Amino acid sequence: MHSTSLSLAHQCSLSRALLCRTQREAAEKRMRAKEAEAAKQRALDAKKKEQHRQLAAKLHEETMARAAEERAQAEESKRMADERKAAKLRQRLEDEKEALLERNLRKAEEAAEKVERAAIQRIEAQKVSAYHHQQQQHSRFE
């Protein structure tokens, strides 16, 4: 009977070992599944993080491009405003120059007319003086 109980004890021991091994294998399988799931989740998280980083980089690049475009437009607007201002100033200076030239020409014409009148008056005065002188000379001889 002793051999049967040994055999029974041995069978229990084997059953327990088999059960423990099966449980251990199941636990290891669950652990591997959990590790695989965690690795999968880390990969998904890394992918999401990279997508967010790329999106943020794209948005930043678009923002910088818009800012550069706005600066370029502002500079162009300023350049055009400065150009209009300069053109206005050139036109004003040209108008002032033309007005000054016209005024100087008018003054020159007036001065020339005065000189001409003075010359005519001198000639007239000389004629009158010569006539009076001739009259005096004539009256002496008579």
Question: In 3-state terms, what secondary structure has residue 66?
Answer: helix
Distance in angstroms (rounded) separating the CA atoms of residues 2 and 41: 57
pLDDT at 102 over 50: yes
Rounded to an integer, the average pLDDT of 43-48 is: 97
The tokens describing 99, both together, are 């007005």
Q: What is the pTM of this model?
A: 0.45
Integer Cα distance of 46 and 63 in angstroms: 25
Task: Evaluate if residue 40 carries a pLDDT over 60.
Answer: yes
Nearest-angstrom CA–CA distance, 112 and 106:
10
What's the distance, CA 114 to chain centroid?
A: 62
